A and B are shown apart, each in its own frame.
Chain A
Amino acid sequence: MMDNNGLKIGSYALTSRLIVGTGKYSSLELMRDCHAASGSNCVTVAVRRERLVDKTSGRNILDFIDPEKYILLPNTAGCFTAEEVVRVARLGREMLTDSGFRGADWVKLECLGDTTTLLPEPVGTLQALKTLVADGFQVLVYCSDDVMLCKRLQDEGAAAIMPAGSPIGSGQGVLNPNAIRIILEQLKEKNPDYPVIVDAGVGTASDVSLAMELGVDGVLLNTAIAGAKVPLQMAKAMGLATLSGRLAFEAGRIPRKLYATASSPWEGRINA
């Protein structure tokens, strides 16, 4: 039987190949419903200062995420140096320790270069990875689709590599499928099960399917659902696209040819 649904990253078993974000939803109720519609069982969350005043009736995002169903993936979104990344990762781990939620010992490493491009900063990313691995974290690394950088991050002990399809929230899809192909070939040479996940940039279901058809192990997205006109419907579409893309990848597409090949036999035509 095909194992097209599940994905193992480090010590975590995901039941879907789609990882979804928790940001930009118009309400926490909508976020919760979109998570359910997506079929994902892994959601990523950011670390920020708690508000000291004007707390909206004590509602916390974790009250809208079922710890039985979802694995939390803390991220270091908004960090610009290795030092910040490590600090935020440790705070995320501390928050999840003895909290009833799974996910304390892994982190999505995000170390950005600037606020305009939101592109990953490779040097800080590599530095932070080394420290976090030494500190016992299973690290999923958000990075650019640079083949050599991805190889280096794998060598330094990343639990998964997560190249961006295109800039965060841009909805441009996978801009360089060939880079993703090469990354897949290079990283899976050493370990065929090594997880490579496209993180960021997808805009719609076909972007997700295309990424999955390239052979990536999963897709992480946020804005494509939260920013859609009907987020709940897009969540469902993204779940299906992840699954169909994976199925198609495993099924193996036909080669591209320049000329047509008839599907019906030439033999037996009445005017032959």
Chain B
Amino acid sequence: MLSPVIYGKINLMEVVVNGQIKQVVEGISVQELLDQFQIKPIRVAVERNREIVTRKQFSATRLTAGDQIEIVTFVGGG
């Protein structure tokens, strides 16, 4: 299930982003993933398989199939 699947010429893979299974381009970087969801990097923090990916590492960090990604932001609270 969570393994690379070939769709036409583009290789897609499945990753879990905020609890939802998403099909993304194989080898996508964290930065590209954020771009895809139109998320500003300055407003979020990212975890990959429970390890924090710092903002400086967003472009260099490439995902692999089955990765568990959390993208969090600040919301109102007390």
Seen from chain A, the residues whose Cβ lies within 8 Å of a Cβ on chain B are: 21-25, 31, 44-50, 52, 55, 58, 60-62, 72, 74-75, 77-78, 87, 90-92, 94-95, 97-100, 168-169, 200, 220-223
Report whether A94 and B54 are in contact in the complex, using a CB–CB cutoff of 8 Å: yes
Bound CA–CA A269/B46 (angstroms): 79
Are A50 and B44 CB-contacts (below 8 A) given A55-B38, A91-B52? Answer: yes
Report whether B39 and A222 are in contact in the complex, using a CB–CB cutoff of 8 Å: no
Answer yes or no: B18 CB below 8 A from chain A CBs.
Answer: yes
Report whether A62 and B18 are in contact in the complex, using a CB–CB cutoff of 8 Å: no
Report whether B77 and A21 are in contact in the complex, using a CB–CB cutoff of 8 Å: yes
Cross-interface CB contact of A46 among B37, B47, B74, cutoff 8 Å: B74
- Which residues in A have their C-beta under 8 angstroms from that of B20? 52
Report whether A74 and B76 are in contact in the complex, using a CB–CB cutoff of 8 Å: no
- Which residues in A have their C-beta under 8 angstroms from that of B45? 47, 91-92, 94-95
B33 to A: closest C-beta gap in Å: 10
Q: Please report the number of residue pairs spanning A and B whose Cβ atoms sit closer than 8 angstroms.
A: 109
B62 to A: closest C-beta gap in Å: 19
Can you give 9 A-B contacts (C-beta < 8 A)? A45-B76, A47-B45, A49-B70, A50-B44, A52-B20, A75-B78, A95-B43, A98-B55, A99-B42
- Which residues in A have their C-beta under 8 angstroms from that of B76? 21-25, 31, 45-46, 61
- Which residues in B have their C-beta under 8 angstroms from that of A91? 45, 47, 52, 70, 72
A217 to B: closest C-beta gap in Å: 18
Bound CA–CA A45/B43 (angstroms): 13
Residue count of chain B within 8 Å CB distance of chain A: 27
Answer yes or no: B28 CB below 8 A from chain A CBs.
Answer: no
Bound CA–CA A220/B78 (angstroms): 8
Report whether B73 and A222 are in contact in the complex, using a CB–CB cutoff of 8 Å: no
Report whether B39 and A50 are in contact in the complex, using a CB–CB cutoff of 8 Å: yes
Taking CB atoms and an 8 Å cut-off, the chain B residues in 43-78 that contact chain A are 43-45, 47, 50, 52, 54-55, 70-78
A206 to B: closest C-beta gap in Å: 20
- Which residues in B have their C-beta under 8 angstroms from that of A44? 77-78
Report whether B43 and A22 are in contact in the complex, using a CB–CB cutoff of 8 Å: no
Answer yes or no: B40 CB below 8 A from chain A CBs.
Answer: yes
Answer yes or no: B19 CB below 8 A from chain A CBs.
Answer: yes
Taking CB atoms and an 8 Å cut-off, the chain B residues in 13-51 that contact chain A are 17-20, 22, 37-40, 42-45, 47, 50
Report whether B78 and A168 are in contact in the complex, using a CB–CB cutoff of 8 Å: yes
Cross-interface CB contact of A50 among B42, B52, B72, cutoff 8 Å: B72
A128 to B: closest C-beta gap in Å: 16
Q: Which residue of B lies closest to A90 (CB)?
A: B52
- Which residues in A have their C-beta under 8 angstroms from that of B22? 52
- Which residues in A have their C-beta under 8 angstroms from that of B78? 21-24, 44, 46, 75, 77, 168-169, 200, 220-223
Report whether B74 and A58 are in contact in the complex, using a CB–CB cutoff of 8 Å: no
